[in-house]
Amino acid sequence: MLSWILPAACLCAWFLVCHSGMVPGYLLPSPVEVGNACYLYIFGIPGDAPYSGRFWDDAAASLVRVGLGFAVAVVAGLPLGIASGRLPVVQRFLGLSINALRAVPGISWMPLAVVWFGIGLKTTVFLVGLAAFFPIFLNAAAGVQQVDPLLLQAGAMMGCGRFRSLFTILLPSAMPHLLTGLRLGLGISWAYLVLGELSGVPNGLGALIMDARMTGRIEIILVGIILIAIMGRLSDTVLKSFMKFCFKSARRML
């Protein structure tokens, strides 16, 4: 309930600003206009108007890119993060390089990615994967590092070997950190999705925004922004529910 007050207030302010004529319509279209455009974009018949009915294609393309990029980041970031949090050798081996790379803004990889992978799926997946890797890696490392050694000792005295304790103690214990890393990673995935799609792919929500800028359709830009916000929020909820569904520790420690 409380969380809807701010969005509602923003909507009201938006209405007021538009209808009082303080800001001209070509800079900020009214909520009604944006709502209509959004409806057409989602439910319109494809081909009727420039953007009508394109949503499903765009959303599917974007979801595949985010999903693949995020998956790459998880597959690389979680094991490396866990290893670097527990094994000083790995920590020393990776620490410097990863911190140096982390300082490079993701956007500066774009020209290189376009040269390497061309325009399209691979470039976006690369950018998304790279950006999402860092929060996942860092949180996993911090999480397993902070596990109470006493819990591991308790496991050991009950006969739990080092390898088994990875799954029975270390990961459950680090679950809040792991989940935080995954959620941050997924959030940043959406940001870098738009960046990757700005490189000139034909479809996707980021491409929609770029396209609308060229054709001067401000309301479509806003539609794109709002839809990305909604999909980002939904994907976060799905991720959280999935983790809670799969892991006791995620259900009980959050």
Give the integer Cα–Cα distance in Å for 92 and 137.
15
Alpha-carbon distance of 205 to 61, in angstroms, equals: 8
Shortest separation between residue 156's beta carbon and other proteins, angstroms: 4
- Please say which residue, 94 or 160, places its beta carbon nearer to other proteins: 160
For the CB of residue 179, give the shortest distance to other proteins in the complex, in Å. Answer: 12
Task: Decide whether 171 or 220 has the Cβ nearer to other proteins.
Answer: 171
* Cα dihedral 215/216/220/222 (nearest 10): 140
Residue with Cβ nearer other proteins (125 or 178): 178
Nearest to 193 by CA among 180, 177, 210: 210
Least distance in angstroms from the C-beta of 236 to other proteins: 22
What's the burial of 116, exposed, middle or buried (CB within 10 Å: 0-12/13-18/19+)? exposed
- Complex with other proteins: residue 48 or 148, whichever CB lies closer: 148
Helices and strands, number each (H, E), in the chain: 12, 0
Task: In angstroms, give the least distance from the CB of 169 to other proteins.
Answer: 7
Please answer whether residues 67 and 128 qualify as being in contact, where contact means their C-beta atoms are separated by less than 8 angstroms: no
Asked if residue 227 lies in contact with residue 55, where contact means CB atoms within 8 angstroms, the answer is yes
Distance CA 178, CA 143 (A): 7
Q: How far apart are CA 201 and CA 221, in angstroms?
A: 16
Q: Which one, 106 or 155, has the nearer CB to other proteins?
A: 155
Tokens at 106, concatenated: 């993701």
**Which residues form the interface with other proteins (CB under 8 A)?**
148, 150-151, 153-160, 164, 168-169, 172-173, 175, 248-249, 252-253
Q: How far is the C-alpha of 42 from the C-alpha of 39, rounded, in Å?
A: 5
Q: Would you call 149 exposed, middle or buried from its count of C-beta atoms within 10 A (0-12, 13-18, 19+)?
A: exposed
Shortest Cβ 163–other proteins spacing (Å): 12
Minimum CB distance to other proteins smaller for 117 or for 247? 247
Query: Least CB distance from residue 145 to other proteins, whole Å?
Result: 17
At closest approach, how far in Å is the CB of 158 from other proteins?
A: 4
Residue closer to other proteins (CB basis): 139 or 173? 173
Let me know: does 121 contact 69? Beta carbons within 8 Å: no
